[in-house]
Copies of this chain bind each other. A is one copy, B any other.
């Protein structure tokens, strides 16, 4: 029983994800009108969007590109000191790409690439969101008026990386960034097939899943949160009415016990709408290890995930 909150928790939360899309107009309609995000800015080939409950300026940077996939995922540190501590650690690990001056809405950021090839970033300095008068909420502890449209998603919840080497990515994120391993699925040979990691009290902020195609560095999905299990069901209703492809209909995960629905946005990226689950409050939470036999029982209610869940990622393979 080892205290896992020591040493210092340097990462505060998942700040934003840059998604690449070959169908920028249709992807924008999906995220803005069907998920219910608000557009905050446009620069070059990118549109910046936020959920009504996001505490950061934006949580999605949607960028036109030849192929779908992950532009980058960015975590915010708890301080400038924490940013520098982690940049040094990553640099020393050999995975650092170096500093950039910043991007719309945030300052200096350190870029790096996970062992399997995922483009990642950390930063601290950030511009706060200033709500415009037409979106002003009734209660000022809420960043923005409730977005009563589409799936009405609250804000960014987590990202899931698709990896040919879950062990390597998982160790890197734990050792260099201070992620803690909440739950893990392992093969009978002891190889990780999914790792769920957290920096907040949420049961996970980032997951890494085994890409059974063997491809490297692909994107599995990002997840936006809604306020209740029922709103996940409602999101599925909104998806069918708007002809969005549902890969996995609403059901409940074993890990984290979150309710989910998975769709492909028009650009091809997998998107989850999720709710529920538990917080990890105990300082000596012991990683839950799921065996192959346990995983073969299916999801929480014993139904299976579709097989594409283990092979489909972006960019798509030829």
Contact = CB atoms under 8 A, between A and B. Distances in A.
Interface of A: 1, 3, 5-6, 8-9, 12-13, 36, 53, 55-56, 76-82, 124, 126, 128, 137-142, 145-146, 148-152, 183, 200-203, 227-230, 233-234, 236-241, 243, 246, 248-252, 254-257, 259, 261, 276, 278-285, 288, 294, 299-303
A254 B8 contact: no
Contacts of A300: 138-139, 236-237, 240
A207 to B, nearest CB: 14
A59 B266 CA distance: 36
A141 to B, nearest CB: 5
B252 A233 contact: yes
A250 B301 contact: yes
A288 B141 contact: yes
A76 to B, nearest CB: 6
Contacts of A53: 278
Given A78-B6, A149-B148, A230-B230, A279 B201 contact: yes
Listed residue (A148, A234, A246) with the most chain B CB atoms within 10 angstroms of its CB:
A148
Nearest to A80: B3
A78 B4 CA distance: 8
Contacts of A237: 146, 300
A150 B150 CA distance: 10
Contacts of A183: 141
A275 to B, nearest CB: 9
Contact of A281 (B12, B81, B234, B243): B12
Contact of A279 (B5, B200, B283, B294): B200
B285 A142 contact: no
B238 A146 contact: yes
Contacts of A9: 5, 9
A149 to B, nearest CB: 5
B5 A283 contact: no
16 contacts: A3-B79, A5-B12, A5-B79, A6-B79, A12-B282, A12-B283, A56-B282, A77-B283, A141-B256, A141-B278, A146-B238, A148-B149, A228-B230, A239-B301, A249-B301, A249-B303
B76 A6 contact: no
Contacts of A279: 200-202
B303 A78 contact: no
Given A6-B79, A141-B254, A241-B145, A281 B13 contact: yes
A126 to B, nearest CB: 8
A280 B228 CA distance: 18
A287 to B, nearest CB: 10
A12 B284 CA distance: 10
